[in-house]
Structure 1
Amino acid sequence: MSESHSKIITNIKAELGSRLTIMGHHYQNDHVIQHCDLRGDSLELARKVPGLKSEYIVFCGVSFMAETAAMLASDQQKVILPAPEAGCVMSDMAPWALLDAVMRKLTADGRRVTPLAYVNTEAAIKSVVANYGGSVCTSANAETMLKWAREQGDGVLFLPDANLGMNTANRLGIPESKWARLDVSGMAKNLNPEDLADKEMLLWPGLCVIHKRFKAEQIDEIRHRDPDALVVVHPECHPDVVAKADADGSTSFIIKYVEEAPPGAAIYIGTEINLVERLAKQYRNEKLVRPLYPSRCLNMAKTTEEVLAATLQDLDGIDAVTVPGDVAHKATVAIERMLDICS
């Protein structure tokens, strides 16, 4: 990236000082992440927002993350997403109106189904979840939140990532005979609650396109080539991939796993390539860090150093990330419920 872009960012940060906080998700590229005051996964960054005093919060990530930040920030703070078009394919797989239609069907006979939404969803989804007494989760706390959701009724609707739902169910020992992947096509016209009466884990048919690219065969090939290699993957991967890996966990877990691996270890990572490449650089003289398969998030890539520089040059002219009041209130209930449970 241009040196001038980096200089612009550095100068504006120095000028604004504590009035500005730049937050960045681990999947941002190095040219952007180097300028971030705070970096982390979804849970880490959400936890930090309420404690910020900055007038401007610039969130380098995707839209649902900036929405969460906007809901947790004060009225005096302005949350800005440098690339407003940076969405999330997984989030788009669960439109709020469809979720509401599904929940109305599932609870029509009085059954108490608790929706648990992955944080990778828009605010409107979180609002619907709150309406039905549910909450949200991240990959870091999915196990804790699923335990909680199971205690609230006689069924859990996990959305939108079926892989994370299945992997978490496996961790809690929920047998596959108690799972069901829902048919939500055509506004759930074919969904029959009677067929699901004995199912405890109801799975929305969504996935992360980044982690879909990782296959069990890739791990088999690594095992054949280097039997001593370690493999760690994100739980958005298919359960077959997770089963063959040495470990699985959130981005923060993966970072710690690499840190604690013995010197000289060869570690293959199944998650977004920016994080893998950053870890490879960090440990290049100590350990061999490689991607299980190079998989890049194009939405995360929409925030470039040039885009960040242009954003900082026009902080007062750019529209803040906003969420309609009624949606924000209910969605915040779902988010704060998670934060309270996981505090």
Structure 2
Amino acid sequence: MTATSDTKIITEVRERLGSDLVIMGHHYQNDRVIMHTDLRGDSLELARQVPALRAKYIVFCGVSFMAETAAMLAGEEQIVVQPAPDAGCVMSEMAPAHILDCAMRQLTKNGARVIPLAYVNTSAAIKGIVGQYGGSVCTSANAEKMMTWAMKQGDTVLFLPDENLGENTANNLGIPEDKRMVLDIRGGGNNIDVAEATSKKLLLWPGLCAVHQRFRPEHVDEVRRRDPDALVIVHPECPAKVVKKADAAGSTSKIIKFVEDAPNDSTIYIGTEINLVERLAKKYHQVKRVRPLHPSTCSNMAKTTEHLLATTLQQLDSAEPVRVPEDIAYHARIALDRMLDVCS
């Protein structure tokens, strides 16, 4: 089937269903998908919009943890469908729920007040455990605000699963390095030195984003050498050494705003997923030069294609909806609602 045929199918279904259909898409989706979305944004922007939706069908173009979040925030009569159910997240998979459960039991067994703060890039099961232990979730856009909140709830915060985002957030908040440590989760969470861990203000889970881990300090050094007047902005999932060399760091929404506000005729190098970089380059090509700091693609985001979206829309009535078991969803919603309340 040609791209023209896929576009025609998508347009026809959208016209037929009208307000009963909303297509949501993350900024890292490719242009052939994002052009069909009604709502696009980063994880926080999309999560905020779900509770207000009244559409019967919510089609989520992104990765699995995002679709799970949408399903938990949607109404009982709404149907959330993910065109690519196999689109997972490497970072999310680095935090298995059974290991977090074991780790939290170890950390709190002597009465220590350890508050888990999970990046939204985690499974519903992780969010459920976080909710049970009085914690919340965060996005890259509100990580500082939510870490500050978590610090007030207990003596120690366990941030998971992205060590880089946790470290960069701690640097911005001025949390001393001797007050943080990377948690040892070997042995399924049974090998934790509880006394040492609970003496810290911040525990970092040893996880990472495969897309942003590819950026290196030498990429920034090369830009400075080749184009000293250029601006560099990177995502805070990048290693701390990269963030320190950049002019700015922030969520996808902040990156978009940074490019928008940059002076005309400026050159901006961006360290994040290539689809967003290329989209910004096209949008501003007449007035600014937008370049990738280093090409880096998310293979899971790429699993959603225009053809797959068209096929999904044709089969909405028989498509398998995204479901989260209620025993998990109940506590996960508590964690999500805490974030939405703090950031409202």
Q: TM-score, normalised by structure 2?
A: 0.99
1:243 counterpart residue number: 244
Partner AA of 1:177 in structure 2: D
2:18 counterpart residue number: 17
2:233 counterpart residue number: 232
In 2: Cα distance, 1:327 partner to 1:185 partner? 25
Partner AA of 2:334 in structure 1: V
- Partner-residue secondary structure (3-state), 1:168: helix
Q: Which moved more, 1:207-216 or 1:183-192?
A: 183-192
Contact 2:103 2:190 (8 Å CA) reproduced? no
1:89 counterpart residue number: 90
Partner AA of 1:50 in structure 2: P
2:187 counterpart residue number: 186
2:306 counterpart residue number: 305
1:258 counterpart residue number: 259
What does 1:71-90 correspond to in 2, within 5 Å?
A: 71-90=72-91
Partner AA of 2:339 in structure 1: M
2:146 counterpart residue number: 145
Root mean square deviation of aligned Cα: 0.7
How far the C-alpha of 1:146 sits from its partner, in A, is 0.3
Partner AA of 1:191 in structure 2: I
Q: What whole-Å deviation, never above 9, does each CA across 1:24-81 have from its counterpart, x for those lacking one?
A: 0000000000000000000000000011110000000000000000011001100000
1:130 counterpart residue number: 131
Partner AA of 2:255 in structure 1: I
In 2: Cα distance, 1:258 partner to 1:104 partner? 44
- Partner-residue secondary structure (3-state), 1:278: helix
Give percent identity, aligned residues only: 65
2:337 counterpart residue number: 336
Partner AA of 2:289 in structure 1: L
- Partner-residue secondary structure (3-state), 1:28: coil
Q: Which moved more, 1:187-196 or 1:287-296?
A: 187-196
Count of residues in correspondence between the two structures:
343
In 2: Cα distance, 1:88 partner to 1:214 partner? 18
In 2: Cα distance, 1:53 partner to 1:95 partner? 33
1:99 counterpart residue number: 100
2:199 counterpart residue number: 198
How far the C-alpha of 1:185 sits from its partner, in A, is 1.4
Q: Which moved more, 1:183-192 or 1:261-270?
A: 183-192
Q: Which moved more, 1:45-54 or 1:193-202?
A: 193-202
Q: TM-score, normalised by structure 1?
A: 0.99
How far the C-alpha of 1:306 sits from its partner, in A, is 0.3
What does 1:168-179 correspond to in 2, within 5 Å?
A: 168-179=169-180
In 2: Cα distance, 1:87 partner to 1:69 partner? 15
- Partner-residue secondary structure (3-state), 1:290: strand
Partner AA of 1:156 in structure 2: V
How far the C-alpha of 1:186 sits from its partner, in A, is 1.8
- Partner-residue secondary structure (3-state), 2:153: coil
In 1: Cα distance, 2:160 partner to 2:199 partner? 19
Unpaired runs of at least 5, structure 1: none
How far the C-alpha of 1:183 sits from its partner, in A, is 1.1
Partner AA of 1:272 in structure 2: E
Q: What whole-Å deviation, never above 9, does each CA across 1:136-181 have from its counterpart, x for those lacking one?
A: 0000000000000000111000000000000000111001111100
In 2: Cα distance, 1:334 partner to 1:341 partner? 11
How far the C-alpha of 1:2 sits from its partner, in A, is 1.6
- Partner-residue secondary structure (3-state), 1:151: helix
Contact 2:71 2:323 (8 Å CA) reproduced? yes
In 2: Cα distance, 1:314 partner to 1:197 partner? 51
Partner AA of 2:148 in structure 1: K
How far the C-alpha of 1:83 sits from its partner, in A, is 0.3
In 2: Cα distance, 1:317 partner to 1:196 partner? 49
In 2: Cα distance, 1:305 partner to 1:225 partner? 37
- Partner-residue secondary structure (3-state), 2:118: strand
In 2: Cα distance, 1:146 partner to 1:93 partner? 20
Partner AA of 2:101 in structure 1: D
- Partner-residue secondary structure (3-state), 1:8: helix
How far the C-alpha of 1:197 sits from its partner, in A, is 3.6
Contact 2:183 2:203 (8 Å CA) reproduced? yes
Q: Note if 1:211 corresponds to 2:198.
A: no
How far the C-alpha of 1:109 sits from its partner, in A, is 1.1
Partner AA of 1:295 in structure 2: S
- Partner-residue secondary structure (3-state), 2:244: helix
In 1: Cα distance, 2:313 partner to 2:191 partner? 49
How far the C-alpha of 1:100 sits from its partner, in A, is 0.6
How far the C-alpha of 1:189 sits from its partner, in A, is 2.9
Contact 2:163 2:204 (8 Å CA) reproduced? yes
1:2 counterpart residue number: 3
In 2: Cα distance, 1:171 partner to 1:328 partner? 32
How far the C-alpha of 1:196 sits from its partner, in A, is 2.1
In 1: Cα distance, 2:113 partner to 2:80 partner? 36
